[in-house]
């Protein structure tokens, strides 16, 4: 349960938030099914580019590959933001968000954070945050007017455009016992990893600021994103086994491509790239 001084309040999150895009509008729900769904609904209106939705509690939070994302009320930062304009493409967006969240978490307390591809954020080898990118092409609300002419209205079909929703879950106040036994070895929270109880609104501001910065960087210089990703990656230079389309691939991770994903030098010869949406890490 959130203590009064750790409540999530839109004004508190927005206080001193000097972002240009991410967090132009901030909403906080006491409870919702999934903040990704709420953000996607807002994303139907292009004016909501950069809008962020937080929830104290999710009743149907989801993670990658169809998994559930569970968190007790007030223990985490659970939020999603929507991008309705400027298309970075799924891979670069995913890498950029991972870099932004890792860098922000790394600035909090004594927690150097690293990235486990595609976008798990780990501190001392344990996952403290996860990122779920969901994209779809949809008809956005159309601002053009038909001037009352029904024949003209029929020809003004709303334009199709890609909207991206990025959902982020950051474990904040969990103790080891709060995680199910099968996750205790691999999951942690900011409080467990750092040396003090974190303040969620402060963490939120740092993460939004970092996302705003890195999304701008990505638009002009994707190389800066991939270089920073490489510096923060736990897997670069390591042997990993991936599952893609129900087939397994083992090899040495030699880098990441902003359009095609993780690059493996395969044990059986050849180099292959794997996109984040259809690939999961089986072993490393």
The nearer residue to ligand BTN, 29 or 244, going by C-beta atoms, is 29
Q: Choose among 83, 38, 29, 62: nearest CA to 131.
A: 62
Least distance (Å) between residue 190 CB and ligand BTN = 15
Distances (CA, A) of 181 to 122, 140, 176, 184, 217: 18, 44, 9, 5, 40
Q: Which of 43, 90, 130, 251 binds ligand BTN (CB under 6 A)?
A: 130
CA angle (107 as vertex; 76, 171 as ends), nearest 5 = 15
Q: Which of 23, 43, 106, 169 binds ligand BTN (CB under 6 A)?
A: 169
Indicate whether 58 belongs to the interface with ligand BTN (CB under 6 A).
Answer: yes
How far apart, in whole angstroms, are the C-alpha atoms of residue 101 and residue 209? 10
Interface stretch with ligand BTN, choices 61-69, 82-90, 188-196, 264-272 (CB under 6 A): 61-69
Asked whether the CA dihedral 94, 200, 193, 179 is positive or negative, the reply is: negative
How far apart, in whole angstroms, are the C-alpha atoms of residue 99 and residue 223? 12
Q: Which of 61, 90, 258, 261 binds ligand BTN (CB under 6 A)?
A: 61
Q: Alpha-carbon Rg of the chain, whole angstroms?
A: 20
Q: Choose among 124, 126, 129, 96: nearest CA to 204.
A: 129
Q: How many residues bind ligand BTN (CB under 6 A)?
A: 20
Q: Which of 132, 133, 163, 276 binds ligand BTN (CB under 6 A)?
A: 132
Indicate whether 67 belongs to the interface with ligand BTN (CB under 6 A).
Answer: yes
Least distance (Å) between residue 68 CB and ligand BTN = 9
Interface stretch with ligand BTN, choices 58-66, 211-219, 247-255, 268-276 (CB under 6 A): 58-66
The nearer residue to ligand BTN, 38 or 253, going by C-beta atoms, is 38
Q: Which residues contact ligand BTN (rule: CB under 6 A)? A: 34-36, 58, 61-64, 67, 69, 78-80, 120, 130-132, 167-169
């Amino acid at each position: 349960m959130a203590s009064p001084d750790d409540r999530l309040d839109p004004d508190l999150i927005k206080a001193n938030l000097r972002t240009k895009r991410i967090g132009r509008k901030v909403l906080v729900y006491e409870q919702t099914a999934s903040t990704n769904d709420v953000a996607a609904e807002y994303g139907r209106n292009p004016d909501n580019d950069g809008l962020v939705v937080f929830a104290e509690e999710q009743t149907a939070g989801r993670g990658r590959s169809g998994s559930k994302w569970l968190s007790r009320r007030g223990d985490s930062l659970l939020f999603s933001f929507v991008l309705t304009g400027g298309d970075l493409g799924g891979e670069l967006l995913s890498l950029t968000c991972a870099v932004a969240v890792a860098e922000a978490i790394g600035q909090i307390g004594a927690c150097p954070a690293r990235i486990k591809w595609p976008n798990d954020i780990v501190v001392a080898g344990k996952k403290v945050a996860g990122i779920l990118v969901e994209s779809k092409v949809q008809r956005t609300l159309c601002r053009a007017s038909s001037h009352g002419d029904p024949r003209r209205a029929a020809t003004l079909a709303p334009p199709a455009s890609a909207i991206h929703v990025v959902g982020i879950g950051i474990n904040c106040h969990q103790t080891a016992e709060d995680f199910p036994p099968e996750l205790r070895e691999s999951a942690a929270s900011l409080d467990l990893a750092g040396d003090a109880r974190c303040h969620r609104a402060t963490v939120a501001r740092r993460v939004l600021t970092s996302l705003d910065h890195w999304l701008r960087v990505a638009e002009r210089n994707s190389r800066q994103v991939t270089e920073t990703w490489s510096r923060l990656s736990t897997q670069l230079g390591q042997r990993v086994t991936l599952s893609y389309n129900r087939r397994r691939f083992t090899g040495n991770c030699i880098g990441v491509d902003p359009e095609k994903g993780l690059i493996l030098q395969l044990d059986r010869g050849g180099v292959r790239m794997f996109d984040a949406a259809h690939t999961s890490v089986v072993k490393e």
